[in-house]
């Protein structure tokens, strides 16, 4: 009986430690928590005028001024696009997390779309944005895409509300 109890405690400890999040990721999650405004979307590493559909949802211009909310206690959030002649307004809900850095990338924000009842509506597909910087007042995220075979970096600049 003692051996079984000891084995259970060891296995439980391994499970908890394998699911734990690093201090860096916890800090970043805490910084995400709350309301943000996406102030600007710009493009780097290529020249020209770009018009992009962001997150397979709306044109880039629709996202400028959008409101974003991240809830860290249940990893859900939403962004709200204002209705206009170019933009389908409304709330979009998502589940999010911070992905630990590796040799190939810095920390990343990862999210996928869900409905109001927190059910996956994206078939398990999602998005990852590199976290360039984040603090209590501002956040910069980047995503690398390809345009006509050439690399382009989309830069998202947020301010905390």
Q: Specify the pLDDT at position 108.
A: 95
Q: Specify the pLDDT at position 5.
A: 39
- Say if CB 77 and CB 111 are below 8 A apart: yes
Can you give the pTM of this predicted structure? 0.81
How many angstroms separate the CA atoms of 113 and 77, rounded?
A: 9
How many angstroms separate the CA atoms of 98 and 96, rounded?
A: 7
SS3 state at 16: helix
pLDDT in tens, the chain (161 residues): 444 433 333 333 433 333 445 666 677 889 999 999 999 999 998 877 777 899 999 999 999 999 999 999 999 999 999 999 999 999 999 999 999 877 677 899 999 999 988 999 988 889 999 999 999 999 999 999 888 788 899 999 999 99
How many angstroms separate the CA atoms of 63 and 28, rounded?
A: 23
Q: Specify the pLDDT at position 52.
A: 85
Q: Specify the pLDDT at position 69.
A: 98
Q: Specify the pLDDT at position 23.
A: 63
């Amino acid at each position: 009986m003692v051996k079984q109890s000891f084995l259970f405690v060891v296995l439980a400890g391994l499970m908890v430690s394998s699911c734990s999040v690093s201090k860096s990721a916890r800090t970043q999650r805490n910084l995400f928590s709350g309301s943000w405004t996406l102030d600007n979307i710009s493009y780097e590493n290529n020249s020209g005028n770009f018009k992009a559909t962001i997150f397979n949802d709306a044109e880039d211009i629709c996202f400028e001024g959008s409101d974003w909310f991240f809830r860290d206690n249940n990893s859900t959030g939403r962004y709200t696009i204002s209705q206009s002649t170019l933009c389908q307004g409304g709330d979009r809900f998502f589940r999010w997390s911070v992905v630990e850095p590796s040799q190939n990338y810095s920390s990343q924000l990862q999210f996928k779309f869900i409905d109001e009842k927190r059910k996956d509506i994206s078939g398990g597909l999602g998005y990852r944005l590199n976290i360039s910087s984040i603090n209590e007042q501002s956040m910069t995220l980047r995503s690398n895409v390809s345009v006509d075979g050439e690399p382009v970096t989309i830069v998202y600049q947020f301010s905390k509300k």
